Structure 1
Amino acid sequence: MTDFTNYHFSEEARIVSESIPGERSRELIQQQIELEGSVVSYPRSIPIALKRAKGAIVEDVDGNQFIDFFAGAGVLNVGHSNEEVMAYAVEQQKHLVHALDFPTENKLSAIRKILGCLPEALRDQYKVSFGGPTGSDAIEAAIKLAKIKTGRDTIIAFTGGYHGMTSGALALTSNVGFRSKLPSLIPNVHYVPYSYCYRCAFKQKPGACQNQCVDYLRQVLENSHSGVPKPAAIIIEPIQGEGGNIVPPEGYLEDLVRLAHQHDVLVIFDEIQSGFFRSGEFLSWMHTDAVPDIIAISKGLGGVGFPISGLIYRKDVEAWGPGAHIGTFRGNQVSLAAANGAFDFIERHDVRQHTKEMGAYLMERLETLKADCPYLGQVRGRGLMIGMEFVRDADTKEPFPSFVKAFRAACLQRGLLFEVGGHYNNVVRLVPPLIITPAIVDAAVDIMRDALTFLLATEPEFARADQSLTLA
């Protein structure tokens, strides 16, 4: 097993400015406000201006170094500025950058590696197609392919799902806040409950559930009065990301795919965030026996942050001809080279196993926080895609987004970055680079513990008379 210590600037945070943001960061954020469009979002909740990064450590313009458990929204799976992977991209830039969809050895190598990471029995059953450079582009392509193949128009998506911000992808995204000011998107999209056992839509207790969420979908598909026409496809995240890093229970995906195929409905797995080894396998559905028809990939596929997206789909789904789906920047050669480098790096250093071990270790450390914090309702995840759901009361499970907001700010001041999500914006979403070390995990959890201790001791809103804390 590789020791990844030297792939990072350090294994701990370093805060040198009096507060966050520092003086220079404040200056650049103000310039950004004046010059850049108001859709900018991340600096509003994580107010820093970045200068450089290596591994799981990012440095701002004031010299502060932060442990990055955000990883560019799950993009930097092999770490920031990974020199072994960057070498592939640098070499490619010397020869060819842009090639539309012409064949190159570089691209064919990446395709072979993608297919070669599928279960052995399935590798010959799939093809790969590249579209535009973002995950949203992959979703748009998946929708188009499903509709062309089936001749049908309806798509079924899931509550809590996030698939992107373009018109089609946004129509499949359940957060109404993203589209509250848009009068229309693509039509004929219908939502059913995701298997979110901590907040079961059917009020079932753990261990008593009979897969009612799949039964509900069965009613939608089989009842002619459900109001839902026969769909072209069902689209689902095998691990729900923005929805709160939710891992569905064993058997759920298998039952869902089986039901869809019984009704001649295609299944699209959105692996844009949960894929590229984040779960410990190439794609997160590979932890199950479910087999999708179409898979959307992006994010980590670009190695060290180069933009790329694509589809992996069964050969019997092939239904479009030349030019039916195009994109000027599809399959960029530098991004493909970085993908090749990332695949090789992961194989050479057994990152799959490292991810599983670090995920288990991080979960174990977070459970110690849960035992001491009255507001941490659940720790869940697979590999290094982990969620911490905060609630006001463990019994009622009332969401506690104000605590999460304060917790993120307190962690930022101490040198830890992460994003917040969940159905109620009450989930800390941890998606660090896969090459984190035990020392980095320990440093991150220590920051969380210190931040929790501070909030519970000093903020009147979060004080409780029945607290008996051992966080300090």
Structure 2
Amino acid sequence: MSVTPVTPTHSSNQYYLDRQELMESNVRSYPRKLPLAIAKAQGLHVYDVEGNDYLDCLAGAGTLALGHNHPAVLEALQDVLASGLPLHTLDITTPVKDAFTEALLGCFPKDFVLQFCGPTGADATEAAVKLAKTYTGRDNVIAFSGGYHGMTHGSLAMTGNLSAKEKVGNLMAGVQFMPYPHEYRCPLGLGGDKGVDALTYYFENFIEDVESGVVKPAAVILEAIQGEGGVVPAPKKWLQKIREVTAKHDIVLILDEVQAGFARSGKMFAYQHADIIPDVVVMSKAVGGGLPLAVLAINKKFDAWLPAGHTGTFRGNQLAMAAGLKVLEEIKNNNLAENAHIQGEFLRSEISKLQAEFGCIGHVRGRGLMNGIEIVDERKAADSMGSYPADSELAAAIQTACFNNKLLLEKGGRGGTVIRILCPITITHDECVEVVKRFKQSLIDALKAVRG
């Protein structure tokens, strides 16, 4: 199905960027790093108003699992529009919602139910924590350094990055941060299995130590792969210990799968790599097929809400549910989790090969099509674990060079030093080859610009 774009009134990116600057708040971020005005898009490809063709390895920050304007998604949206169905129904059910709910529940054990929240992942993390507090009668929450759970007061309180917090006081109280395992930059300075083992022991001891200074929490919230924190996968043994300890002490385990979910990691959900089952799973981004929707999957044991205990006007987005249903069907019918695994392995392998030529690639990591490339200054001394200092200036230059070479991607991690690749899970082998080709040229260009 072809896409008929809105005809641009002007053929200059800068024309639209200048108007955006006049009309929008300083808070806008992506246009500062990716200065284009999009005219149309299809699959992996984005076209600006000047006719340039970009490969999109950002995909709506992971929202567009099937890429732009997938034919099955467009058809589903058109069917809803033609049906006469209301576009929003609060939490009143419809045939579309019924079919979507059944399909999504099929991704979880039989003792799970769904809760439809407001339209963003932050809304859903807020609801998940409120539910945990309602169920347990306790107040505290354990989150992890490097984690990202949203920008509202409660979700920001549980987010590791400090830049958005520094000028915003009175965030949700009772959040205790703990260190998250990091293969390249171990927070304990140990690295390898020693670091993982120490952090695994530390979590259990912290919960069970009667002198820890922190009362038993209502919930533990984490990402099985930290996204904004720099694409950091959680080790299997660490996740399993967290599941064991939280179950033992009746602490609600919340897995934030907003970015890593829906086959991006090579499995339907990233926590499945550890063979665990959380108590609550937070979903947004891809769950709505590119349209605003946020959903919790809840083990019935923890469904402690009274009627209207948590509401939201836009929890009945019928277009998002129709689109989300098609995403689930495409993932299942075309084995897209396996495609994400295969293409992700290829991308990491090819980029790892570049390390021999480009010492600024300090570490390549990820699972499936959720990948991170840590940029370092290899000219400086390595630390005791063999890790080089981060090079944020070069990372920014690489992102700019990628844009100039028609490759759209984002940075993340501490200081923005991790190049993140979040291409659609429908990407082909040939498209991956082209991504690597453009990325290599961008490394050459950025190194020349920054280091001469």
Instruction: Specify if TM > 0.5.
Output: yes
- Distance apart, 1:462 and its partner CA: 2.6
2:37 matches 1:68:
no
Q: Quick one: which of 280, 284, 287 aligns to 2:266?
A: 280
Separation of aligned partners in 1, 2:439 and 2:336: 26
Q: Which residue of 1 aligns with 2:348?
A: 363
- Distance apart, 1:298 and its partner CA: 0.6
Taking a change above 3 Å as real, the CA distance of residues 419 and 265 of structure 1, as seen in their structure-2 partners, is same
Q: Residues 307-456 of structure 1 correspond to what in structure 2 (within 5 A)?
A: 307-393=292-378, 395-456=386-447
Task: Determine helix, strand or coil for the equivalent of 2:21.
Answer: helix
Q: Residues 10-159 of structure 1 correspond to what in structure 2 (within 5 A)?
A: 24-94=12-82, 95-96=84-85, 97-118=87-108, 123-159=109-145
Q: Which residue of 2 aligns with 1:18?
A: none
- Distance apart, 1:289 and its partner CA: 1.6
- 2:278 aligned partner, one-letter code: P
Aligned residues of 1:85 and 1:345 also touching (Cα < 8 A): no
Taking a change above 3 Å as real, the CA distance of residues 358 and 210 of structure 1, as seen in their structure-2 partners, is closer
- 1:435 aligned partner, one-letter code: T
Determine what percentage of the aligned residue pairs are the same residue: 37
Q: Considering only aligned residues, what root-mean-square deviation do their CA atoms show, in Å? A: 1.8
- Distance apart, 1:396 and its partner CA: 4.1
Separation of aligned partners in 2, 1:59 and 1:244: 27
Separation of aligned partners in 1, 2:342 and 2:209: 45
Separation of aligned partners in 1, 2:136 and 2:11: 57
Separation of aligned partners in 2, 1:455 and 1:329: 43
Aligned residues of 2:100 and 2:321 also touching (Cα < 8 A): yes
- Distance apart, 1:275 and its partner CA: 0.3
Q: Quick one: which of 189, 203, 206 aligns to 2:192?
A: 206
Separation of aligned partners in 1, 2:71 and 2:394: 38
- 2:438 aligned partner, one-letter code: I
What's the TM-score once normalised by structure 2's chain length? Answer: 0.94
- 2:210 aligned partner, one-letter code: S
Separation of aligned partners in 1, 2:415 and 2:101: 38
Aligned residues of 1:7 and 1:55 also touching (Cα < 8 A): no
Taking a change above 3 Å as real, the CA distance of residues 57 and 233 of structure 1, as seen in their structure-2 partners, is same
Task: Determine helix, strand or coil for the equivalent of 2:50.
Answer: coil
- 1:240 aligned partner, one-letter code: Q
Q: Quick one: which of 208, 228, 241 aligns to 2:227?
A: 241
- 1:159 aligned partner, one-letter code: S
- 2:419 aligned partner, one-letter code: V
- 1:102 aligned partner, one-letter code: I
Q: Which residue of 1 aligns with 2:7?
A: none
Q: Which residue of 1 aligns with 2:156?
A: 170
Separation of aligned partners in 2, 1:274 and 1:33: 32
Aligned residues of 1:271 and 1:284 also touching (Cα < 8 A): yes
- Distance apart, 1:359 and its partner CA: 0.9
- 2:368 aligned partner, one-letter code: G
Q: Which residue of 2 aligns with 1:220?
A: 206
Q: Quick one: which of 284, 290, 294 aligns to 2:276?
A: 290
Taking a change above 3 Å as real, the CA distance of residues 8 and 351 of structure 1, as seen in their structure-2 partners, is farther
Aligned residues of 1:86 and 1:341 also touching (Cα < 8 A): no
- 2:53 aligned partner, one-letter code: Q
- Distance apart, 1:360 and its partner CA: 1.2
Separation of aligned partners in 1, 2:398 and 2:366: 20
Could you report, residue by residue, the CA deviation over 1:89-109 in whole angstroms, capped at 9, with x for unpaired residues? 111122211111112121121
Aligned residues of 1:418 and 1:429 also touching (Cα < 8 A): yes
Separation of aligned partners in 1, 2:234 and 2:257: 14
Taking a change above 3 Å as real, the CA distance of residues 294 and 7 of structure 1, as seen in their structure-2 partners, is farther
2:427 matches 1:462:
no
- 2:170 aligned partner, one-letter code: S
Structure 2 unaligned residues grouped into runs of 5+: 5-9
- Distance apart, 1:214 and its partner CA: 2.4
Could you report, residue by residue, the CA deviation over 1:55-83 in whole angstroms, capped at 9, with x for unpaired residues? 01111111111000000100000110001
Separation of aligned partners in 2, 1:350 and 1:154: 40
Separation of aligned partners in 2, 1:350 and 1:45: 34
Q: After TM superposition, what 4+ stretches of structure 1 lie above 6 angstroms from structure 2?
A: 6-9
- Distance apart, 1:215 and its partner CA: 2.1
Q: Which residue of 2 aligns with 1:12?
A: none
- 2:22 aligned partner, one-letter code: E
Task: Determine helix, strand or coil for the equivalent of 1:251.
Answer: helix
Aligned residues of 2:200 and 2:237 also touching (Cα < 8 A): no
- 1:257 aligned partner, one-letter code: R
More moved, 290-299 vs 199-208: 199-208
Separation of aligned partners in 2, 1:399 and 1:358: 27
What's the TM-score once normalised by structure 1's chain length? Answer: 0.90
Task: Determine helix, strand or coil for the equivalent of 1:208.
Answer: helix
- 2:396 aligned partner, one-letter code: K
Q: How many residues align?
A: 439
Task: Determine helix, strand or coil for the equivalent of 1:296.
Answer: strand
Aligned residues of 1:7 and 1:82 also touching (Cα < 8 A): no
Q: Quick one: which of 262, 270, 279 aligns to 2:248?
A: 262
Taking a change above 3 Å as real, the CA distance of residues 8 and 450 of structure 1, as seen in their structure-2 partners, is farther
- Distance apart, 1:424 and its partner CA: 2.7
More moved, 104-113 vs 319-328: 104-113
Separation of aligned partners in 2, 1:36 and 1:195: 39
Separation of aligned partners in 2, 1:210 and 1:353: 28
More moved, 271-280 vs 282-291: 282-291
Structure 1 unaligned residues grouped into runs of 5+: 1-5, 10-21, 464-472
- Distance apart, 1:371 and its partner CA: 2.2
- Distance apart, 1:321 and its partner CA: 1.2
